[in-house]
Amino acid sequence: MNFKNKVILAPLAAVNNIAFRKICTDYGADIVYSQMIDSHAFLMGNRRMADFFDEENLVAQFFGNDAKVIAKCAKEISGKVQGVDLNLGCPHSDVVKRKCGSYLMKYPKRIALIIDKLVKAVDVDVTVKIRAGYDKNHINAVKIAKLCEKCGVSAIAVHGRARTVNYSVPVEHSIIKKVKDAVDIPVIGNGDIFNGRDAADMIEKTGCDSVMVARGAMGNPAVFNEIKCYLDGKGIKEISKKKIFLKFLKYCKKYEIEFKDIKTQAQWLTKGIKHGSKYRLLMNDAENVKELEKAYMKID
């Protein structure tokens, strides 16, 4: 899988179901990551987050801290995806309390053990997603990146904040640049990319090979089209949220997405439109897809 010159959908927990990945792909995402999948739950039979279908650009992301468990998960799904990613960046307290996600940034030897088994278990690309460090006093992204490269990963995504740094603090491009300068594998820049200008800034300031969009895609899957047009120097054509929603809804019906998930994403799609709060209130009262669609058709 080529991780250079790509615009990528980041793994977003409770967001990246198959319908959302499809709509992001339609609007220009070159590579899409799955939702963050709990490796232990997966082996116990909980496959809700592992909704893999006919996708040619999918990387499945697992979190956990047991090398054997993660490797077994990866081996089981390797024929359905083009890559497997190890989550070393999730900052959420419930994940960190389980000694997973960004917690592992503090334990390089554990990371090396997991990646070694993961790479040996599958024939597809193995990637990792990390943060700048566990906290602002322990910034070790370069060390972890070099370790991951040595263990055989194909690419590394770097979020330019430490685990304990709030999103109100701007992403540190300098950290991503240091990682890029330290390794030979593709580096994917992640953090604060909401439009084409942000993506261009990330590339210019870090030298990264590709960009990864997270929060910027929530409620705006057409951001991938905007980024590509901006980077290519082309005019950006505005795409109506109503058109996006109707297309998204078709995928939801095709893949039998649960109504509560459809409703949540439909409300996100009203972000930025005129009188968006009014339409969100209408959607709150919707009890099924038909009522939700009726509310959406009232948007100007």
Query: Tell me: the pLDDT tens digits for 121-146?
Result: 999 999 999 999 999 889 999 999 99
Burial zone of 235 (CB within 10 Å; 0-12 exposed, 13-18 middle, 19+ buried): exposed
Report the pLDDT value the prediction gives residue 111, as an integer from 0 to 100.
97
The backbone region for 275, taken as left when phi is positive above 0, alpha when psi lies in -120 to 50, beta otherwise, is: left
pLDDT at 36: 94
Output the CA torsion sign for 178, 34, 25, 91.
Answer: negative
| Interval 15-43 mean pLDDT | 95
- Give the per-residue pLDDT at 119: 97
Res 270: pLDDT: 86
CA 59/CA 80 separation, integer angstroms? 9
Classify 165 as helix, strand or coil: coil
For the chain, how many residues are written? Answer: 300
In this structure, of 100-104, 186-190, 236-240, the range with the lowest mean pLDDT score is: 236-240
Helix axis angle, 241-254 to 18-26, nearest 10°: 140
For the chain, list the strands marked E by DSSP: 7-9, 31-38, 58-63, 83-88, 125-135, 138-139, 155-162, 187-190, 210-213
In this prediction, residue 168 has a pLDDT band, given cuts at 50, 70 and 90, of confident
Q: How far apart, in whole angstroms, are the C-alpha atoms of residue 177 and residue 158?
A: 10
Q: Which of 214-218, 243-247, 280-284 has the highest mean pLDDT?
A: 214-218
**Nearest-CA neighbor of 217 among 70, 10, 6?**
10
Helices 259-268/241-254 angle, 10° precision:
170
Residue 300 in this model has a pLDDT that exceeds 70:
no
Is the pLDDT higher at 238 or at 95? 95
Per the CB < 8 A criterion, the answer to whether 192 and 170 are in contact is yes
Residue 131 contacts residue 116 (beta carbons within 8 Å): no
- The DSSP-derived string for 184-212 is SS-EEEESS--SHHHHHHHHHHH--SEEE
Lowest mean pLDDT across 90-104, 153-167, 272-286: 272-286
**What pTM value is reported for the model?**
0.95
Percent of the chain with pLDDT over 90: 77
Count of Cβ atoms closer than 10 Å to residue 194 Cβ: 16
Catalytic residues: 90
Where is average pLDDT lowest: 150-159, 207-216, 244-253? 244-253
Residue 239 has pLDDT above 80, yes or no: yes
The boundaries of every CATH 3.20.20.70 domain in the chain are 7-231
The amino acid sitting at 203 is: I
Cα(253)–Cα(241) distance, integer angstroms: 18
Question: Domain 7-231, what fold?
Answer: TIM Barrel (3.20.20)
